[in-house]
Structure 1
Amino acid sequence: MFTSKCANCTDTVGDGPECSICKKRFHFACGGITERGFARLGSGRASWMCTNCRDAPLTPMETSCIETAAANTPGSSRFSSGLPLEIRAVSTPKHGASSEDKQNFLELLQEVSSKITNIQTEITMIRVIQQDIQQVKLDIAEMNNTLNTKLDKLNNRVDNIESRVSTVEGLVSTIEGLSTEVEDLKMKVKTVLEEGHKNEQWVRRSNIQINGIPHKSGENLIKIIKTLAERSGYPLNAENDIDFITRVAVKNDEDARRSKPIILKMQSRYKKDDFLAALRKLRNIKACDLGFTGMTGRIYFNDHLSQRNKQIFQQAKLKAKEKNYTFCWVKNCTIMVRKTEKSPVLHITSEESLKKIL
Structure 2
Amino acid sequence: MHRTPPNNISLSASESDLTNLSKANETSNITLRPSVKRLRTSEESVSSQENTFSSFKKEIMESMAAMFAEQNEKFSAIEKSIAEIKSQNTTIHQTNCEIERSLEFVSHQIDDVKDKISHLEVERKKMSSEIISINNKIENLECINKKTSVEIRNVPNSKKRESKSTLFDMIQHLQTGISLEDEYCGQIRDVYRTNYKSQSNVSTVVIEFMTTLAKEKFISKTKLFSNSKGDQTNSKLMGLDGASTPIYISEHLSPRTRKLFYLAREFAKQNEYKYCWTSGGKVFLRKSEGSQHLLVKDDNDLKSLKNPVQP
TM over 0.5: yes
From 49, 57, 79, the counterpart of 1:141:
79
1:75 corresponding residue in structure 2: none
2:265 corresponding residue in structure 1: 317
Q: Structure 1 residues 289, 261: closer, same or farther in 2, change over 3 A?
A: closer
Q: Which amino acid aligns with 1:261?
A: V
From 112, 115, 118, the counterpart of 2:50:
112
| CA deviation map 1:214-238 (0-9, x unaligned) | 7764237499579959955595596
1:264 corresponding residue in structure 2: 208
Q: Which amino acid aligns with 1:207?
A: T
Shift of 1:329: 1.0
Q: Structure 1 residues 174, 128: closer, same or farther in 2, change over 3 A?
A: same
Give SS of 1:109's match: helix
Verify: 1:279 aligned to 2:279, yes or no.
Answer: no
1:201 corresponding residue in structure 2: 139
Q: How does 1:42-81 map to 2 (within 5 A)?
A: none
Verify: 1:153 aligned to 2:101, yes or no.
Answer: no
1:26 corresponding residue in structure 2: none
Q: How many Å separate the matches in 2 of 1:163 and 1:137?
A: 38
Instruction: Show structure 1 runs of 5+ residues with no match.
Output: 1-95
From 166, 175, 195, the counterpart of 1:219:
166
Shift of 1:337: 1.9
Q: How does 1:2-81 map to 2 (within 5 A)?
A: none
Q: How many Å separate the matches in 1 of 2:209 and 2:131?
A: 25
2:22 corresponding residue in structure 1: none
Give SS of 1:329's match: strand
Give SS of 2:202's match: coil
Q: Structure 1 residues 259, 109: closer, same or farther in 2, change over 3 A?
A: closer
Q: Which amino acid aligns with 2:93?
A: N
Shift of 1:145: 0.9
Q: How many Å separate the matches in 1 of 2:195 and 2:292?
A: 34
Q: Is the 8 A contact 2:173 2:238 kept in 1?
A: no
Q: Is the 8 A contact 2:268 2:276 kept in 1?
A: yes
Give SS of 2:284's match: strand
1:341 corresponding residue in structure 2: 289
Q: Structure 1 residues 336, 190: closer, same or farther in 2, change over 3 A?
A: farther
| CA deviation map 1:93-115 (0-9, x unaligned) | xxx65311342133123312321
Q: How many Å separate the matches in 1 of 2:118 and 2:284?
A: 36
Verify: 1:249 aligned to 2:194, yes or no.
Answer: yes
Q: How many Å separate the matches in 1 of 2:296 and 2:172?
A: 30
Bigger relative contact order, structure 1 or 2 (CA pairs below 8 A, ≥6 apart): 2
Q: How many Å separate the matches in 2 of 1:114 and 1:226?
A: 149
Instruction: Show structure 2 runs of 5+ residues with no match.
Output: 1-32, 227-232, 307-311
Q: Which amino acid aligns with 1:247?
A: Y
TM-score, structure 2 length as denominator? 0.63
The number of residue pairs the alignment matches comes to: 253
Give SS of 1:261's match: strand
Give SS of 1:105's match: helix
Q: Which amino acid aligns with 2:69?
A: Q
Q: How many Å separate the matches in 2 of 1:195 and 1:112?
A: 119
Q: Is the 8 A contact 1:210 1:300 kept in 2?
A: yes
Question: How high is the sequence identity, in percent, across the aligned residues?
Answer: 14
Q: How does 1:110-189 map to 2 (within 5 A)?
A: 110-170=48-108, 172-177=110-115, 179-181=117-119, 183-184=121-122, 186-189=124-127
Larger Rg: 2
Shift of 1:172: 4.2
